[in-house]
Amino acid sequence: MDKVELGWNEFWAETFRVKHRRSIQGIQHYDRMVVDFCIEALGLKKGHEILDIACGAGDQSIELAKRKLKVTAFDISDRLIEVGQEHAKADGVDVNFFTGDMRNMKFDKQFDAAVMLSHSFGFFNHDVNMQVLKASHDALKEGRKLLLDLMNPYNLPRFQQTWTELEGGFLLSEPHVLDAPAGVLTGRPAIYIDVEADRIVLMNQDALENNNIRMYTALEIKAMLEEVGFSRIELYGENQLPRRQYCSTSERMVVIASR
Ligand SMILES: C[S@@+](CC[C@H](N)C(=O)[O-])C[C@H]1O[C@@H](n2cnc3c(N)ncnc32)[C@H](O)[C@@H]1O
């Protein structure tokens, strides 16, 4: 078998965010429940405009569009955006998908809500993470809300080495490791045995290095949101209805902030 090293866009995007995500049993049902929660918690009505920041392959963006919301969704990976566009077309819904970097996000009071789902916040150093929050704030109309769906830093999932059978191959994912003094969760190195192409796919240096997440506690994130102009910070322990109070053992840390 040949061995190839691929970058993040070529390797991780397709293998992990599309093939791996779709292999998770019940994922479509999960997405529908997350979207139910977003609609209720953000007070969304038909025709409202929502921004899905770091939308991945757009599974939730498409579900939001099916609920008659006007969805703008972007991701840094052009491959994921392509997949999102193909699926939206197949499902007969309109989503304004584009490739974009949240570090360059520039919207002005356009949206009735903005979401960052499946822990899509904290990829950069602290100053840049703050910049992303400020740009999210500026994207919202007055009084409207941002939702951050985050892992609970006090109750991280028990990360394990896992082998997953995917369409056309097998994925070996190493566990995330928490660098506690730095507050950083390191990315998951992974290897894909591509049976169809008879090759082993490894992550290149770029894919390995650009995969860390800065974890923030509720108090930290609340202070950060207030610093960029948000108020009325709400915390929930789940991304599904009914709303549950956030506590140290919650599955998630869902943060909602009003402009
Ligand atoms: C954990 S995934 C979540 C995807 C999607 N929100 C979901 O719930 O399935 C994080 C996403 O962030 C995207 N991403 C990483 N850096 C980004 C950036 N600078 N700007 C926009 N998207 C970015 C990745 O491509 C990936 O799709």
Q: Which residues of 152-185 are buried (b: 16+ CB within 10 A; e: fewer)?
A: bbeeeeeeeeeebebeebebebeebebeeeebeb
Question: Mean pLDDT score of the chain, rounded to an integer?
Answer: 94
pTM: 0.94
Of 71, 16, 9, nearest to 191 (Cα)? 16
Q: How far is the CA of 92 from the centre of ligand 1 (A)?
A: 24
Contact 244, 238 (CB under 8 A): yes
Residue 229 pLDDT exceeds 80? yes
Mean pLDDT of 233-259: 97
Ligand 1 within 6 A of CB of 118: yes
Give pLDDT tens digits for 13-29: 877 778 888 888 899 99
Ligand 1 within 6 A of CB of 75: yes
Ligand 1 within 6 A of CB of 227: no
Confidence of residue 66 (pLDDT cuts 50, 70, 90): very high
Nearest residue (CA) to ligand 1, atom 27: 56
Ligand 1 within 6 A of CB of 109: no
pLDDT at position 11 is 78
For residues 61 and 239, what is the distance between their CA atoms, to the nearest angstrom?
A: 16
Nearest residue (CA) to ligand 1, atom 13: 54
Residue 206 pLDDT exceeds 90? no
Mean pLDDT of 201-211: 84
Give pLDDT tens digits for 70-124: 999 999 999 899 999 999 999 999 999 999 999 999 999 999 999 999 999 999 9
Contact 164, 20 (CB under 8 A): yes
Residue 175 pLDDT exceeds 90? no
